[in-house]
Chain A
Amino acid sequence: MGMPKKILLVEDEKNIILGVKTCLEVANYDVLVVEDGEEAIETAIREKPDLILLDLMLPKLDGYAVCQDLKSREGTNNIPIVVLTAKVEEESRKRAMEVGADSYMTKPFRPEELWQEIKKFIH
């Protein structure tokens, strides 16, 4: 087995962090967690994760801005970003895709769904 893949989870809800982190660790991923938008950008630049799970409503800088920033930056623009959000509206999905998100999952979801989505981007 190769090195475990690194996933950056950007989420500000404690209970969701617990659930998602557990779900990823059981599947052998390395998980970094940050809870606001600014830290998300700093950490992504520094750590170069293999994938980012990004909530949209975040303190300091929202998920759209984070996504736009990372996707326009040399070095992070190739990292797949999967948006995890409670926003079910079509406009939110459109906007996220416009700022470069690779995929859009609405909350709630089950562990299997999350694993499946991640496998589309990293093997």
Chain B
Amino acid sequence: MSLERYKLFFRELPETVILIDMGCRIRACNTSAEKLLGHSEESLRGKRIQDLLSSPPLMSLLDEAIAFSRTPSLNHENSIIELTKGDKKEYFKVSMNFFGAQAPKEKFLLLILTDITVLKEIEQHKTDFFATASHEFRTPLTSIFMGVGMIKTGQLGQISPKGRELLEAIESDCTRLLRLANNLLDLSRMETGSISMELEDVSAYDIIDAALATLKLQAEHKNISLYTKVPGDPPLVKADVNKIIWVVTNLVGNALRYTGVKGSIIVKALRKGTKVIFSVQDTGKGIPPEYHDKIFQKFVQVDGGSGGAGLGLAICKEIVEAHGGEIWLKSEPGKGSTFSFSIPVGRS
């Protein structure tokens, strides 16, 4: 193919492609970039990219790339930038690559921006949909909860033992439905990042304490011993407290649900380098190895779970990853499971 043809290809790529030198000046760009920046390639040549695109996150990525002469590691969090065009927000996925490596002088950075505004919009519709659905569930659930609750008081007439049993069943399934509606909403919000993170330095011990407070009674009922082990000075973590309490509560809640009577659950927090590792260990029924990779996906349950919807672990994963951490599992069927996650250590 002729050089001309290659040039044409480059010019007409739907992605925005900009060639930058080590002084952050534009050396070449394609049609899509001309459109985004609002000038012709001719007049853009030699201009500094900072003066044309207003996106501090993108600039810090470029600075980092140029300072260290290598592409920064891009992930779901940092590779998506927001640009404002008039009063409309547009979203782009950033990728970059160095080329022409012989002498430093001839080194260039290829910056590629892919317009993902449409995807963002779809995500937003999805969140809106879940918000509406969750809202629409609440109204009928209110009259059911009130109705069942009122009949249960016995003040509207006597109830037979069978009748009471049925009422308890209805109430427990309504609770389940409500939990499902809440979980769907939380999950979609986490996925679209529309829940903001409020990070603070907080003691890992306090997090575990708060999570266990709501579960102690449940453990007693099932005759399960619940221990906390936070050796030495409790480490501080940098976390959105409510969300991490949610994660611990969910992991311990699962452990309680999938562990038989007289079992035990140990909740630990341990500092390891720049991370704090939380773990929840149970002596329950365990999880078969073929599930280990997919158990954190939405709706995945072993044997249909037990009264849940299979969303808890998916939300845990979203929350932990939003903290820049990881979540994993070790389990042997019949012996028990240990769910662990890491989040950054805080400053004391």
Contact = CB atoms under 8 A, between A and B. Distances in A.
A20 to B, nearest CB: 6
B138 A106 contact: yes
Given A16-B142, A19-B142, A108-B178, A86 B135 contact: yes
Contacts of A111: 146, 149-150, 153
A26 B145 CA distance: 16
B141 interface: yes
A74 interface: no
Contacts of B149: 23, 110-112
Interface string A1-26: 00000000000010110111011001
Interface in B132-150: 134-135, 138-147, 149-150
A15 B139 CA distance: 9
Contacts of B174: 108
Nearest to B134: A88
A109 B145 contact: yes
A15 B145 contact: no
A23 B131 CA distance: 28
Nearest to A84: B142
B241 to A, nearest CB: 15
Interface in B112-144: 131, 134-135, 138-144
A110 B145 contact: yes
Among B138, B140, B142, B155, chain A packs the most CB atoms within 10 A around the CB of B142
Contact of A108 (B131, B144, B156, B185): B144
Contacts of B138: 86, 88, 106-108
B51 to A, nearest CB: 37
Contacts of A87: 135
B154 to A, nearest CB: 10
A86 B145 CA distance: 14
B150 A15 contact: no
Given A19-B147, A86-B135, A107 B153 contact: no
B143 A16 contact: yes
Contact of B145 (A13, A18, A22, A108): A108
A18 B150 CA distance: 11
Contacts of A107: 138-139, 141-142
Nearest to B152: A111
Interface in B44-66: none
A15 B143 contact: yes
B57 to A, nearest CB: 26
Interface in A24-74: 26
A53 to B, nearest CB: 12
22 contacts: A13-B139, A13-B142, A15-B143, A15-B147, A18-B143, A19-B145, A23-B150, A26-B153, A26-B155, A26-B156, A86-B138, A86-B142, A106-B138, A107-B141, A107-B142, A108-B138, A108-B145, A109-B145, A109-B146, A110-B145, A110-B146, A111-B146
The 10 closest A-B pairs by CB, nearest first: A19-B146, A15-B143, A86-B138, A108-B142, A111-B149, A108-B141, A107-B142, A108-B145, A107-B138, A19-B143
Interface of A: 13, 15-16, 18-20, 22-23, 26, 86-89, 106-112, 114
Interface of B: 131, 134-135, 138-147, 149-150, 153, 155-156, 174, 178, 182, 185
Given A19-B146, A88-B135, A112-B149, 15 more contacts: A13-B142, A13-B143, A15-B140, A15-B143, A15-B147, A18-B143, A86-B135, A89-B131, A107-B139, A108-B138, A108-B141, A108-B142, A111-B150, A111-B153, A114-B146
